[in-house]
Structures are given as structure tokens and as C-alpha cells.
Amino acid sequence: MARDFASTSARGIDSGSLPYRLFQKAKRLGVWDPRGIDFSQDVEDWRSLTAEQREETLRHLAQFQAGEEAVTLDLLPLILTIAREGRLEEEMFLTTFLFEEAKHTEFFRLFLDAVGETDDLTVYHTPNYRRIFYEILPDAMQRLIHDPSPAAQARAATVYNMYVEGVLAETGYFSFRTGLGRIGKMPGLLQGVESIARDESRHIGYGTYLLHRLISQDPALFDLVRATMDELSQYPLNEGLPPRDVNAFGVPIPLIHDYAASRIHNRLQVLARALTRSPEEAVAVTEAELGIEET
């Protein structure tokens, strides 16, 4: 079939577009190497954790590890959809997106191997976790292969970027940073989590940009996004845990819950701005508006 090449046409590459700017940030900031992180102190610290602390950390790590593998496996249909639409700058950024998700998968496996946790950790995949990562996420992403409609794209970006990355992952990072920072241990794990969180800021920013673009073209999609967030909120990942005021690292549980709720509120608040913007204004959104880290 006939095709057009943007980069050799009068159009060229839109170097001022947000996806292209994210591509530049990824080249500069996303090149950290998980194998360059020193886990020697973490190995010592792991032995010094209480049984409760190790159990809680393993639960988080088992969910992070599989979650990163899931988003690595499930991203390709979105890349294909964007490529078929001829959105060159967006696809350029998405190539870095997939690369980074693969690195995140590698990072958590390297850490687990370093501290000697090589048993089957799927026992920590709760029913709600399985509902989201074994069913809802792959279903939403795989649907794009045969249904690349704006509605299907909006659901995929909401599940993947807004909730899995923008609520679950960010809340997990917050819990790690707060808890491990409080006891001053596991520097290698914290270093990797900081790098991952910086990468994820760009990923969430792109998903917000994509939804901004879609909602500005069809405002009814905002209701779909909000309904999807409400649906996913019905599957908290802490089911089965006994009631408690603080976690194993002394972090108040309500603080973690409030953080997760704030992520949902903030995501929807930012996306609601697209309802009052033209498609041209929506794609001119800035990094600051999307909460993308600048450094």
C-alpha cells in the first residue's frame, strides 16, 4: 500500500510537541542501568529486617515484579495503534516507554535474586490483584488489536497509565520511600525505585496527554474514563490483611490510603481540563500541567 513519510515531507518532525519532548527526556534521563546498582548493603539490610518487614516487602515486590512484567507484555498493542495512525512523535516516545518497562522488570528480578528470594512469589497475587493484572489490563490492551477506536484507546490508557501506573504503582513507590526511608535501609532498592518513579512520571504524562487529546475530540470519553477509575477502585490490593493502624515500617495506613485517593482525584482533575479545550489546545499541554518531573 502507499504510505507517506513524515520525516522527509514538508511536515518533518514536530520537535515542539509534547511526545517529542518526552522522547528527549527519556534519552537523557531513562538510560540508568539496573545492573549498575549495588545491592551489597541491601543484602545485609535484608537479613536485619523483622519477619513482618520482610513479609510485607516481599508482598510489595511480588506485585511490583509481576506488574512490571505485565505492562511490558501489554504495551505493544498501543504502540501498534499509534503507529497505524501515523503519529510519529508519539511512537518515538513509546519506543523508550517499552524499553524502560523492560528495565523495571529486570530491576526487581535482580533485587530479588540478590537477597536470595527465588521461591514462587505468586502466592502474594491476591484475587483483586489477579483481577486487575491477569484480566482487566491485558483485556483492555489486547482489545486495541481489533478495536483501535477512541473509546478503546481511552479505556486502555485509563487502565494502564492512569490507574496501574498512576495510582497503584505511585502508591507503592510512596510506601517504599516512606517506610524504607524511615528506617534508613535498602539503599539499592530505593535508588532503583527512585529511577523507576522518574521513568513512570513520563509514562503517566504520556497517558494523560493521550487522554487529553481524545477527550478534547469527544468529551463523552471523560465519563468513560471516570467510570473506569471507579470500576478499578473496587479492587483494593490490601484484601486479606488484618486491620492495623501502621504498616511494618511504622507508616500510618490512613496516610497510604489518602495518598492513593489523592492520585485518583488528581488524575481526574487534570483530565477534566480537556473538556474545556479545543483539540489544538489539548495537544499544546505542558509538562507542568501533566505533573511530569523536569529533572
- DSSP string covering 2-32: ----GGGSSS---TTSHHHHHHHHHHHHS--
Residue 250 lies in a domain: yes
Residue 6 lies in a domain: no
Cell numbers found for residue 240: 486479606
252: DSSP letter: B
Position 40: which residue type?
S
Position 142: which residue type?
Q
Position 294 scores a pLDDT of 65
Residue 90 lies in a domain: yes
CA–CA separation, 98 vs 79, rounded Å?
Answer: 9
Residue 163 lies in a domain: yes
Using CB atoms within 10 A of its CB, is residue 35 exposed (0-12), middle (13-18) or buried (19+)? exposed
Residue 198 lies in a domain: yes
The secondary element (H helix, E strand) that includes residue 57 is helix 51-74
Residue 253: closest CA among 242, 268, 269: 242
Position 2 scores a pLDDT of 62
Backbone angles phi, psi at 233, to 5 degrees: -65, -15
- Which structural domain, as residue segments, surrounds residue 139? 37-290
Residue 1 lies in a domain: no
How many CA atoms are closer than 13 Å to the CA of 43, on its beta-carbon side? 9
49: DSSP letter: S
Write the pLDDT tens digit of every residue in 6-38: 776 767 788 999 999 999 999 999 899 999 999
SS3 content of the chain, % helix, strand, coil (to 5): 75, 0, 25
Residue 5 lies in a domain: no
Give the CATH number of the domain where residue 183 resides. 1.10.620.20
Position 4 scores a pLDDT of 77
Residue 159: closest CA among 227, 209, 213, 217: 227
Residue 89: closest CA among 7, 171, 30, 150: 7
Position 194: which residue type?
E
**What Å distances lie between residue 277 and 122, 226, 264, 282, CA to CA?**
44, 18, 21, 6
Pick out the chain residues at pLDDT < 50: none
Computed on alpha carbons and rounded to an integer, the radius of gyration of the chain in Å comes to 20
Q: How many domains does the chain have?
A: 1
Residue 194 lies in a domain: yes
